[in-house]
Structure 1
Amino acid sequence: MMDKQFNANTSVSIFMATYNGAKFIGKQLESLHHQNFANWQLWIRDDVSSDETVSVIKEFEEHDKRIHLIEDSKGRLGNAQNFNEVMNYSGDSDYFMFCDQDDYWFQDKISSSLTFIKEKERECGSNTPIAIFTDAEAVNENLETISNSFMKKVHVNPYDKEPLNKLLAQNYMYGCTMLLNKFAFKLSVSVPKDAEGHDYWVALVTSLYGHIFYLDKPTLKYRQHSNNVTGLKQGKLINKIKRNLTLKGWIQTNRIVDMSIRQANRLLDIKYDNPNKGKSKLVRDFVLHGTEGGLIVIPFLIKNRIFRQGKLRTLIYYLSMIRKNKNIYD
């Protein structure tokens, strides 16, 4: 067993937010059951599914006491706030992971992620907020390989030396590939309603107050299908046209840009004993420029390497940032 690499008390909490996932969730839960690191607890909250998702979860819960279904009366919260809610059930674990309902984890996903983050903790200090993320194998609905490297398929450079700058404009760290130490986790709770996603919020918080590292290794099969919130469908030509070259796409871009400014503003509310003043100033300036708009925002964005993936997306993003009178407090 790979557990022997770690202290016997090393523990991992895994969070899953489900919604109408009955078709695939059984395979995902099977993959967790077969992990070669055993000291984990899985916390699941279902967002009022109308299919058999809850029944499948309860069946697995009955046979594996590490699986816990949270049942409450809070109703449908949406993906980000569903994850936010389930993150409150972590207990006193050492490390934390996010799990999508429709993927399939490789047997050493937890153990290899732990090995990597412990190496980084030795380099940076065990009290430092650290998050790691990995590559993934992109697969279709039947778990057949589309690409051995999701990162290469979507043309993302995961080794950015200034991740905060890029993250202010666009998230490229997927929650299903992440592992956080307790210091990064505690700073990230709770996820504000202004956040685009739980993983985006965690990436921003950790890049601002700690460190993010990339493990160049696929640790799961990242299933691509019509119901994906993110994924390869975002890069299809028809979706690029809808997103960038239509009125509906322009309105959606403006909504996302406004949310990103509000999200960045929420970062400044976090209390941390040892903030990086340079990074904090970058966030404050980003919020200020984004809120006021005007052509002056363009030199600021270029100087600080704040851009989106692809020249067209960056151009549309810059045009949206120019808009004046954006009220981040709406």
Structure 2
Amino acid sequence: MVTILLATYNGEDYLKAQLESIASQTYGNWRLVTGDDGSCDGTLGILEDFRTRYPDQVKIIKNEPATGSARNNFINLLRNAHGPYFMFCDQDDVWKRDKIYETMKKMEAMEERYGKDTPILVHTDLSVVDENLEMIAESFFQYANLPKRIALNQLIVQNSVTGCTAMINRALQKYFLQPLPMGKILMHDYWAALVAKIFGRIGFVNEPTMYYRQHGNNSVGAKNSKNPVFLMQRLKEGKESYRKQMIKSMEQIQGFVETYGEEIEGLDEYNLLKTYGNLYYKGKMRRLFFYRNHQVLKEGNIRKLMQWLWG
């Protein structure tokens, strides 16, 4: 059984297509748990209609009060979900028919190799499309210039796990059940990736399993890192904006060490994590030496340049 966690908020424009893509999955042993964050459009009506068609597989939760963000909504769903496997689902994408099947196949292979008690996250590539599902890029990883397989020293500064492609097992879910530093977590998928990398394993399916819809209301969205317009925009945002992002990145790792400190202390990665978590208070030269000595660098020449200039 796969429990699909769907966070919704005013998603009536694209939600039907996403729900139909779930219903059309070749892997039929799924259930859908939705958390609605106070939608005031037709979102709840669409969900109710879908539940009428699949009454034994669909559960609707109305968040009262609203959680306030996609991150909080997903973490709330995950903390209250049951099952051996969980997938995150955005309200505006479309899944290919074999998304669950292909992801589960990789998950089962990894659990057979490493054991079901090992926290495991499996993610995939995805195709980037416009609001009308017209193709922008076959591969998100090529489009955004992100590494498909990532080392910890790169992951702490740059996430390459896209949550809407991800499946996690119960062993990983358990790391979300204790008190978490919500204000320091950048996104639910980033935190899950860190847990899997440090305490378990990350698996990757090197093919697109869904269509990642880009439109004006995306909370994150895909960015073409090779597009001159995008690069100029990042440069215009400037040093202060970049530094704020880096501080948040370091605070997230600081929160991670605070949360799981006793489990991490005996690991080789402990000093790397603890030092990075407190790095912003050490001065720019100390930061630059740390980036160089530990290869804590983002992917792509422009990203590296901004990190050296402003990080």
Q: TM-score surpassing 0.5?
A: yes
1:86 equivalent in alignment to 2:77: yes
Counterpart of 2:28 in structure 1: which amino acid? A
1:62 equivalent in alignment to 2:52: yes
For residues 136 and 189 of structure 1, what CA distance do their matches in structure 2 show? 29
1:301 equivalent in alignment to 2:301: no
Residue of structure 2 aligned with 1:77, choices 50, 68, 71: 68
Question: What CA deviation, in whole Å up to 9, does each residue of 1:167-199 have, x standing for no partner?
Answer: 111111100111111111211346622111111
CA contact (8 A) 1:43 1:89 kept: no
CA contact (8 A) 2:99 2:210 kept: yes
Structure 1 counterpart of 2:119: 129
Query: TM-score, normalised to structure 1's length?
Result: 0.86
Residue of structure 1 aligned with 2:175, choices 179, 183, 187: 187
> Does the C-alpha gap of structure 1 residues 276 and 241 become closer, same or farther in structure 2, counting only changes over 3 Å?
farther
Residue of structure 1 aligned with 2:216, choices 206, 210, 226: 226
> Does the C-alpha gap of structure 1 residues 291 and 12 become closer, same or farther in structure 2, counting only changes over 3 Å?
farther
Structure 1 counterpart of 2:6: 16
Structure 2 counterpart of 1:7: none
Q: Which runs of 5+ in 2 are unaligned?
A: none
CA offset at residue 284 of structure 1? 0.8
Structure 2 counterpart of 1:260: 249
Residue of structure 2 aligned with 1:157, choices 147, 155, 158: 147
CA contact (8 A) 1:209 1:276 kept: no
CA contact (8 A) 1:208 1:276 kept: no
For residues 216 and 264 of structure 2, what CA distance do their matches in structure 1 show? 43
Structure 1 counterpart of 2:163: 175
Structure 2 counterpart of 1:41: 31
Structure 2 counterpart of 1:142: 132
For residues 20 and 299 of structure 2, what CA distance do their matches in structure 1 show? 35
For residues 157 and 276 of structure 1, what CA distance do their matches in structure 2 show? 28
* Worse-matched range after superposition: 100-109 or 263-272: 263-272
Provide the alpha-carbon RMSD of the alignment: 2.0
For residues 56 and 284 of structure 1, what CA distance do their matches in structure 2 show? 46
Residue of structure 2 aligned with 1:241, choices 222, 232, 239: 232
CA contact (8 A) 1:81 1:193 kept: no
For residues 145 and 104 of structure 2, what CA distance do their matches in structure 1 show? 26
For residues 272 and 131 of structure 1, what CA distance do their matches in structure 2 show? 22
Residue of structure 1 aligned with 2:276, choices 260, 278, 286: 286
CA contact (8 A) 2:26 2:98 kept: yes
For residues 274 and 289 of structure 1, what CA distance do their matches in structure 2 show? 18
Count of matched residue positions in the alignment of Structure 1 and Structure 2: 306
CA offset at residue 315 of structure 1? 2.8
Q: Secondary structure at the match of 1:218?
A: strand
Question: What CA deviation, in whole Å up to 9, does each residue of 1:103-129 have, x standing for no partner?
Answer: 111111111111111111222222111
Identity of aligned residues (%): 30
Q: Secondary structure at the match of 1:204?
A: helix
Question: What CA deviation, in whole Å up to 9, does each residue of 1:277-324 have, x standing for no partner?
Answer: 112221012113233233022122122221123223223234444xxx
> Does the C-alpha gap of structure 1 residues 320 and 25 become closer, same or farther in structure 2, counting only changes over 3 Å?
same
Counterpart of 1:174 in structure 2: which amino acid? T
For residues 219 and 166 of structure 2, what CA distance do their matches in structure 1 show? 17
Q: Secondary structure at the match of 1:270?
A: helix
Counterpart of 1:38 in structure 2: which amino acid? G
1:217 equivalent in alignment to 2:217: no
Question: What CA deviation, in whole Å up to 9, does each residue of 1:174-226 have, x standing for no partner?
Answer: 00111111111211346622111111111112111111121112111111222
> Does the C-alpha gap of structure 1 residues 122 and 237 become closer, same or farther in structure 2, counting only changes over 3 Å?
same
CA offset at residue 275 of structure 1? 6.9
CA contact (8 A) 1:261 1:291 kept: no
For residues 51 and 234 of structure 1, what CA distance do their matches in structure 2 show? 31
* Worse-matched range after superposition: 59-68 or 284-293: 284-293
